[in-house]
Homo-oligomer: A and B are copies of this chain.
Amino acid sequence: MSSTTADASTTGTTVITNIASLVTNDPSLGDGSPLGLIRDAAVVIDGDRIAWTGESREAPATDNRIDAAGRAVIPGFVDSHSHLVFAGDRTQEFNARMSGRAYSAGGIRTTVAATRAASDEELERNLTRYLDEALRQGTTTLETKSGYGLTVEDEARALRIASAHTDEVTYLGAHIVSPDHADDPAGYVALVTGEMLDACAPYARWIDVFCEKGAFDGDQARAILTAGRAKGLHPRVHANQLTYGPGVRLAVELDAASADHCTHLTDADVDALASGATVATLLPGAEFSTRAQWPDARRLLDAGVTVALSTDCNPGSSFTSSVPFCIALAVRDMGMTPDEAVWSATAGGARALRRTDVGRLTPGAYADLALLDAPSHVHLAYRPGVPLVRRVWRRGVRVV
Contact = CB atoms under 8 A, between A and B. Distances in A.
Contacts of A288: 328, 332, 384
A326 B384 CA distance: 10
A64 B24 CA distance: 50
Nearest to A325: B385
B382 A322 contact: no
A20 B7 CA distance: 33
A133 B338 contact: no
Contacts of A231: none
Given A89-B375, A137-B387, A332-B288, A338 B382 contact: no
Given A89-B375, A288-B332, A332-B291, A95 B338 contact: yes
A126 interface: no
Interface string A371-394: 000011011011111110000000
A9 interface: no
Contacts of A339: 95, 99
Contacts of A387: 136-137, 322, 387
Interface string A349-381: 000000000000000000000000001101101
Residue of A321, A376, A382 with most partner-chain B CB within 10 A: A382
Contacts of A384: 285, 288-289, 320, 322, 325, 385
Contacts of A285: 384-385
A327 to B, nearest CB: 9
A2 interface: no
Nearest to A89: B375
B98 A332 contact: yes
Interface string A314-331: 000001111011101001
A105 B216 CA distance: 51
Interface string A88-122: 01010011001110000000000000000000000
Contacts of A375: 89, 91
Nearest to A376: B91
A218 to B, nearest CB: 32
A13 interface: no
A114 to B, nearest CB: 15
A337 interface: yes
A338 B385 contact: no
Contacts of A382: 91, 94-95, 289, 319
Residue of A89, A100, A337, A385 with most partner-chain B CB within 10 A: A385
Interface of A: 89, 91, 94-95, 98-100, 133, 136-137, 285, 288-289, 291, 319-322, 324-326, 328, 331-332, 337-339, 375-376, 378-379, 381-387
17 contacts: A89-B375, A91-B382, A94-B338, A94-B378, A95-B338, A99-B337, A99-B338, A133-B386, A285-B384, A285-B385, A288-B384, A319-B379, A320-B383, A320-B384, A322-B385, A322-B386, A328-B385
